[in-house]
């Protein structure tokens, strides 16, 4: 039997509770790499409109499973039901920001400053201004090859997830009081690096429907990097300033070892020796070889209520050691979904890679 869930709807302007309703069906999509849409079906209610916020919990529980904003309302008059489509709360950041070179000791504080600047024109009423915190601090460096440029804010957060495993998590519901004494409610949001780790094996009975895609033995990715002096003029004998290799376990090596898949596939980075703000060779290698894309994808489903993975541990960014047919994959949970038609949570993992430097350009 699937989870019995309730949905609470909050007015988009006043943040007061419009009501709490039983969910007849639901499809919750959580994805750290895209702005996924979830859907919820309830009794018809003309008081609910697009822009309202929704919080989803199990019946008689304070555990928050989802918090988002309604983007569409579809009413079925024949059944007196309505389906609400919603995006996760970071949808409020689905606009542009300015991007330039920047470094510091806290990527998380950097993001909070960008959010405060993004909502500056309506900070007094913006829901993101109510309960935004960061509980970790991660050193970072952004090097923009385009000087000052622009990026979609959610895309920028996705880059941060790939580099730093940082997530935008709603940890609870906060309460305030308006000037006229009426209570209002807002999401408590913590932006942090996920450090929890969990182990999985494909011989566990409660883990099913495994799909593993491993590109390490395919020739569709670069695993050798040449950092080349861009002032060179001889294409047959370029001036290679440094070489790096990506090993099979995802680490970066300055030497060609048995742990590097062969034959290698070369990527070239043109280095401007006359520039004054160049990144280090190590950071160039880290960003170009290890942070561009995941090299494996693992999907499987877990029975809800199993003894090996508590549902409260299923959170984006969960670091994982996955053992599949005697192969070890260091992974991170990039997406998961739960729907009312089944009794499982569907999990998607990608390759776990960290890097300090983000080499940003409008073409990548």
Q: Across 220-295, where does the E strand assignment appear?
A: 224-229, 240-246, 252-253, 266-271
Domain range enclosing 234: 222-290
Phi then psi dihedrals of residue 319, to 5 deg:
-75, 145
**CA–CA separation, 241 and 175 (whole Å):** 57
Residue 212: strand, helix, or coil? strand
**CA–CA separation, 207 and 302 (whole Å):** 5
Extract the tokens encoding 237. 């004998």
Residue 236 has pLDDT above 60, yes or no: yes
Q: Which of 290, 317, 333 is the last residue of a domain?
A: 290
| 168 and 202 fall within a common domain | no
Q: Residue holding tokens 């709807």?
A: 9
CATH number of the domain to which 147 belongs? 3.55.50
| Residue 10 domain-assigned (yes or no) | yes
Which residues 6+ apart lie within 8 Å of 197 measured at CB? 318, 319, 320, 321
**CA–CA separation, 165 and 167 (whole Å):** 7
Q: Which residues pair with 176 in a beta bridge?
A: 184
**C-alpha distances out from residue 274 to 133, 134, 146, 286, 337, Å:** 40, 38, 16, 22, 49
| Residue 360 domain-assigned (yes or no) | no
| 160 and 28 fall within a common domain | no
CATH number of the domain to which 241 belongs? 3.30.1920
Single pTM value for the model: 0.82
**CA–CA separation, 150 and 120 (whole Å):** 18
Backbone Cα Rg of the chain: 23
Extract the tokens encoding 10. 């909050």
pLDDT digits (tens, 9 = 90+) for 89-131: 999 999 999 998 888 999 999 999 999 999 988 766 689 988 9
Residue 279 pLDDT class (50, 70, 90 cuts): confident
| 168 and 61 fall within a common domain | no
| 86 and 25 fall within a common domain | yes
Most confidently modeled range among 222-236, 276-290, 348-362: 222-236
pLDDT at 358: 56
Element (H, E) at 176: strand 166-177
Residue 45 pLDDT class (50, 70, 90 cuts): very high
The total of structural domains in the chain comes to 4
| 102 and 54 fall within a common domain | no
| Residue 63 domain-assigned (yes or no) | yes
| 116 and 158 fall within a common domain | yes
Residue 292 pLDDT class (50, 70, 90 cuts): very low
Q: What is the DSSP string of 110-155?
A: HHHHHHHHHTGGGTTT-GGGTSEE------EEEEETTSSEEEEHHH
How many C-beta atoms surround the C-beta of residue 101 within 10 A? 17
| 189 and 99 fall within a common domain | yes
**Mean pLDDT value across the chain:** 89
| 249 and 153 fall within a common domain | no
CA quadruple 14, 18, 23, 29: dihedral, nearest 10: 0
């Amino acid at each position: 039997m699937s989870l019995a869930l309730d949905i609470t709807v909050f007015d988009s302007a006043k943040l007061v509770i419009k009501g709490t309703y039983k969910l007849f069906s639901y499809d919750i999509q959580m994805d750290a790499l895209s702005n996924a849409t979830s859907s919820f079906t309830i009794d018809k209610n003309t008081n609910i409109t697009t822009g309202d916020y929704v919080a989803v919990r199990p019946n008689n529980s304070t555990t928050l499973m989802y918090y988002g904003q309604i983007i569409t309302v579809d009413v079925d008059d024949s059944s007196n039901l309505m389906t609400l489509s919603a995006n996760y709360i970071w949808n409020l950041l689905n606009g542009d920001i300015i991007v330039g070179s920047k470094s510091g000791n806290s990527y998380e504080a950097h993001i909070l400053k960008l959010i405060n600047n993004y909502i500056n024109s309506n900070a007094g009423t913006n829901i993101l201004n109510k309960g935004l915190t960061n509980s970790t601090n991660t050193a970072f460096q952004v090097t923009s090859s385009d000087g000052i440029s622009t990026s979609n804010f959610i895309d920028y957060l996705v880059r941060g997830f790939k580099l730093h495993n940082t997530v935008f998590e709603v940890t609870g519901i906060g309460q305030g009081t308006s000037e006229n004494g009426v209570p209002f409610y807002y999401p408590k949001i913590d932006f942090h690096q996920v450090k929890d780790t969990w182990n999985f094996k494909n011989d566990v009975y409660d883990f099913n429907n495994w799909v593993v895609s491993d590109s390490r033995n395919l020739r569709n990715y670069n695993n050798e990097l040449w950092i080349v002096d861009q002032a060179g003029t001889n294409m047959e004998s370029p001036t290679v300033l440094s070489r790096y290799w990506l090993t099979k376990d995802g680490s970066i090596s300055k030497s060609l070892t048995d742990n590097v898949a062969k034959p290698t596939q070369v990527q070239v980075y043109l280095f401007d020796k006359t520039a004054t703000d160049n990144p280090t060779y190590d950071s160039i290698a880290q960003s170009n070889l290890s942070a561009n894309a995941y090299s494996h994808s693992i999907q499987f489903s877990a029975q809800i209520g199993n003894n090996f993975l508590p549902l409260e541990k299923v959170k984006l960014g969960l670091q994982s050691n996955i053992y599949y047919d005697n192969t070890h994959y260091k992974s991170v949970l990039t997406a998961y979904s739960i729907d009312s038609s089944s009794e499982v949570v569907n999990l998607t993992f990608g390759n776990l890679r960290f890097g300090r430097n983000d080499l940003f350009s409008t073409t990548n």
